[in-house]
Chains A and B, each alone.
Chain A
Amino acid sequence: MLAFLKKIKSGSDNEPEVDAQLIKKMLDKHKDKIKLFMNSCIHCSLCAESCFLQTSHKDDPTYMPSHKLIHSIGKLYKRKGKVTRRELEEIRDIVWGKCALCTRCYCPVHIDIPEMVALARAVCRSQGVYPAYEEQGGAASGFASEEDVEGMLEGAAG
């Protein structure tokens, strides 16, 4: 399991293919909503001030909720799930790295941005693409180290 996750994180040559059909199936369940929200977004950027990550990175517009929406679920929807693993990793960096899912974001047109970010996270997870928290290991950080996890796995097996 650990080796599999490490393989995905490192993007090795033997990485599994992205299951575009599965992604499309997941998106189709929310197709009407995604389409409504993507068509409703008038690119006004008024959501920017409502995101505390954006307000603390004022010079980086990629933290804007609308930017995150367009470049995560918007990209997945437009491509009908046909994205590369590299693109999924970029989406991962947006929906986890640039969004805390605090649901503070406000949209004048009432687009439910957190719901779309959560959906993008679900899509990424379905393909085994998510933050490599296990690599931040060590007791001080509060995360289990590699040895701890391997020990736990051996204990569970044995």
Chain B
Amino acid sequence: MFYEFVRGPMMWIAFVLFLCGILYQGRKLSKLVSVRRGLQAPPAPPLPARSRASTTDGRSLALRLALAKESLVGKYPALTLVSVVFHALVLVVPLFLTAHNVLLDQSWGFDLYSFRESVSDAFTVVVLGCCLFFFLRRLLAPRVRAISTFGDFFILFLVAMPFLTGFLAYHQFFAYEIVLVSHILAGELMLVAIPFTKLFHMIMFFVNRIY
């Protein structure tokens, strides 16, 4: 019965809270962006067209390579790779998981493309590995530790839990029903937390750039 509750009404509650939170934060952010737009200077004149020589000049390529080494990718290649893979898989895995698409089909009559289960399994392990990387980095790197708070570890835990419990449920480790309910609850908790915690950076990232 509890399973039916978390799978049914509680899922609706989680989605409603998620959407209301997104709308509330979005309204605040749009106000900020519109105020900023009113203050913006007129657009700059267009830059002169590049000559053909500047794109094929060897010195230009060397300069670009040197600059690339000084960029974030050049200075933190491992972190960049882990971060890109992590953020991509966190979105992709839940959307294209066979089990989720079966539920989607049963509830709404449509489904998305599904990866093979072995592929989803491997992706889940990769996500968990990335979470471990971020956790260790936050704990061991002095610069990151200096500005880390409990909230930073908590949101990492929130993101890792659905993947960990999902992995355990799929492989039917421990008591399956308890693990499955934990998985659903973890997912719902993460969904509700997105608009109200630093997880909102998934949307703030783009808003800040517009702002």
Contacts and interface: CB of A to CB of B under 8 A. Distances in A.
Interface of A: 32-33, 36, 39-40, 42-46, 48-49, 59, 61-62, 64, 66-67, 70, 106, 108-111
Contacts of A66: 147
Contact of B147 (A49, A70, A106, A110): A70
Contact of A43 (B76, B148, B208, B211): B148
Contact of A110 (B143, B149, B200, B209): B209
B208 A49 contact: no
B32 A46 contact: no
Nearest to A66: B147
B189 interface: no
A109 B204 contact: yes
Contact of A109 (B142, B147, B201): B201
Interface size class of B (residues with CB under 8 A): 20 to 34
B146 interface: yes
Contacts of A43: 138, 144, 147-149, 152, 198
A57 B87 CA distance: 32
A61 B146 contact: yes
A61 B28 contact: no
Interface in B76-114: 76, 79
Interface of B: 28-29, 31-32, 35, 72, 75-76, 79, 138, 141-149, 152, 198, 200-201, 204-205, 207-209, 211
Given A42-B201, A43-B147, A64-B147, 16 more contacts: A32-B31, A36-B32, A36-B204, A36-B207, A39-B198, A42-B198, A43-B149, A43-B152, A43-B198, A46-B79, A49-B75, A61-B143, A62-B146, A67-B147, A109-B201, A110-B208
Nearest to B155: A42
Given A43-B147, A43-B148, A110-B208, A61 B142 contact: yes
A40 B204 CA distance: 6
B31 A108 contact: no
In the A-B complex, the 3 residue pairs with the smallest Cβ-Cβ separation, listed nearest first, are: A61-B146, A110-B208, A45-B143
B31 to A, nearest CB: 7
A49 B76 CA distance: 10
A33 B208 contact: no
Nearest to B74: A49
B72 A108 contact: yes
B143 A33 contact: no
B72, B145, B146, B207 pick with most chain A CB within 10 angstroms: B146
Contacts of B148: 43
5 contacts: A40-B208, A43-B147, A108-B72, A108-B205, A109-B201
A46 B76 contact: yes
Contacts of B147: 43, 45, 61, 64, 66-67, 70
B76 A110 contact: no
